[in-house]
Amino acid sequence: MKLLRTMSLLTQFLTRPIRGANHAERLESFYGYQAAEYDEFRRTFLLGRDELASRLEFPAGGRWCDLGCGTGYLLEAAGPAARELAAIYLVDLCRPLLARADSRISAGSWGNARTILADIARWRSSEPVDVVTFSYSLSMTPDWFAAIDAARDMLRPGGQIAVVDFHVVGRHPPAPGPRRQSWLTRAFWPAWFDIDDVHPSPDHLPYLLSRFEMCWFAEGRSRVPGMPWLRPPYYCFLGRKRAASSSHATAGEAADGQPS
Ligand SMILES: C[S@@+](CC[C@H](N)C(=O)[O-])C[C@H]1O[C@@H](n2cnc3c(N)ncnc32)[C@H](O)[C@@H]1O
C-alpha cells in the first residue's frame, strides 16, 4: 500500500500541472494535495537536514528564523536547545504546509515558535536573529539571491546561516571547491526538478560564499522515493555573518572531511 501511494505521489509530481497566477498560488497548487503526506514522503528524499540541524548553535534567549519552513520539520530536528530560544519564526508562503507547521507547534508545545505567511525574498524580522536556515527552500524561491540578502540583513554579526539544498555545480567548479559533476548530472537534475518548479543553481554556493564566512560544507546524494537508483546531489553549507573587516572564504576551505 505504501509503495502504491509513493508511486501515485511520484506520478503526480511528474505529470500534474502546477497552476497559479503567482508564486504563492503555484506553491499551493503543488503542495496542497500532498501536505498531509509531505513529511513521510520527504524523509529519505530531503537528506542532510538532520545533520545540518545538529550543527546549529542556539544561544539561550536567542532568535531563529527558518525560511521556507514547510511543515516545520527542522523544529524537531533542531533538538532541545531550540526550546530555550526566545523566538522561532517559521516563515513560508504556502498555507497548506504552514497549517501542518501550526499543528506541529501545538503538538510539541512550542510556546516560543510561530508561523508567518510571507515571501522569504522580502520578509525581514524586526529584531536581529542569531540563526537563519534554508532547508530545500532556496531552490524553490525565484528571487533566491534576495532571500539570501534578507537573511544576511536579519542576522547579527557572527550569526549562523545554514543551507541544505539540491546541488548542481558549474562545468568548472573552483578549486578548492565542490566536487565536479558529470555532464549528465548537470543536465539531468535541473531538467527533472524543473517539472516541479524547483531550480537547483550552480550560483547558490558562490553567492553564499560572497556573503558569508564558510564554516562547514558537505555534499551527498539522496534517493528519489520509489526510484532509489535516482540519486539527486545535495549540499550543506554552514556559515557566519562576518564582522565588517574579515575576509572571504572559498568553497572547500573549511570542508569537514569532504573533498575540497
Ligand atoms: C522543498 S520544501 C522544504 C520545506 C522544509 N524546509 C523542509 O525541509 O521540509 C520548500 C519550501 O519552500 C517554500 N517556499 C518556496 N518559495 C518560497 C518563498 N518565496 N517564500 C516563502 N516560502 C517559500 C515552499 O512553500 C516550501 O514549503
Q: How many CA atoms lie within 13 A of 111 on its CB side?
A: 2
Checking if the pLDDT of 130 tops 70, the result is yes
Distance of CA 161 to the CA centre of its chain: 11
Count of positions (residues) in the chain: 260
239, 148 contact by CB (below 8 A): no
| Three-state DSSP class for residue 158 | strand
Residue 115: give its domain's CATH number: 3.40.50.150
pLDDT digits (tens, 9 = 90+) for 61-104: 999 999 999 999 999 999 899 999 999 999 999 999 999 999 99
Overall average pLDDT of the 173-196 stretch: 92
162, 56 contact by CB (below 8 A): yes
What's the CA-to-centroid distance between 260 and ligand 1, angstroms? 29
Domain assignment present for 119? yes
Contacts of 152 (CB under 8 A, 6+ apart): 161, 211, 212, 241
Task: Say yes or no: CB of residue 73 within 6 Å of ligand 1.
Answer: yes
Domain assignment present for 63? yes
- Closest ligand 1 atom, residue 123 Cα: 20
Task: Say yes or no: CB of residue 177 within 6 Å of ligand 1.
Answer: no
Domain assignment present for 178? yes
Going by alpha carbons, the residue nearest to atom 4 of ligand 1 is 70
Overall average pLDDT of the 184-188 stretch: 97
36, 88 contact by CB (below 8 A): no
What's the CA-to-centroid distance between 15 and ligand 1, angstroms? 21
139, 202 contact by CB (below 8 A): no
- Closest ligand 1 atom, residue 142 Cα: 19
Q: If you average pLDDT over every residue of the chain, what do you get?
A: 90
Using DSSP bridges, classify how beta strands 213-221 and 129-135 pair: parallel, antiparallel or unpaired. Answer: unpaired
Count structural domains, the chain. 1
Domain assignment present for 249? no
**Ramachandran region of residue 10, left (φ > 0), alpha (ψ -120 to 50) or beta?**
alpha
The CA distance from 147 to 126, in Å, is 16
Quote the cell numbers at residue 89: 519564526
Asked whether the whole model's pTM tops 0.85, one would answer yes
Domain containing 234: what range? 2-240
Residue 48 burial by CB count (10 A; 0-12/13-18/19+): exposed, middle or buried? buried
Helices (H), 125-244: 144-154, 183-194, 204-211
Number of Cβ atoms within 10 Å of the Cβ of 106: 9
Domain assignment present for 111? yes
Domain assignment present for 204? yes
| Three-state DSSP class for residue 229 | coil
Q: At residue 77, what is the residue type? A: A
Overall average pLDDT of the 32-61 stretch: 89
Residue keyed to cell 545535495: 234
Domain assignment present for 195? yes
Side by side, the strands of the sheet bearing 113-117 are 113-117, 87-92, 63-67, 129-135, 155-166, 233-240, 213-221
Overall average pLDDT of the 38-56 stretch: 90
Checking if the pLDDT of 16 tops 90, the result is no
Domain assignment present for 253? no
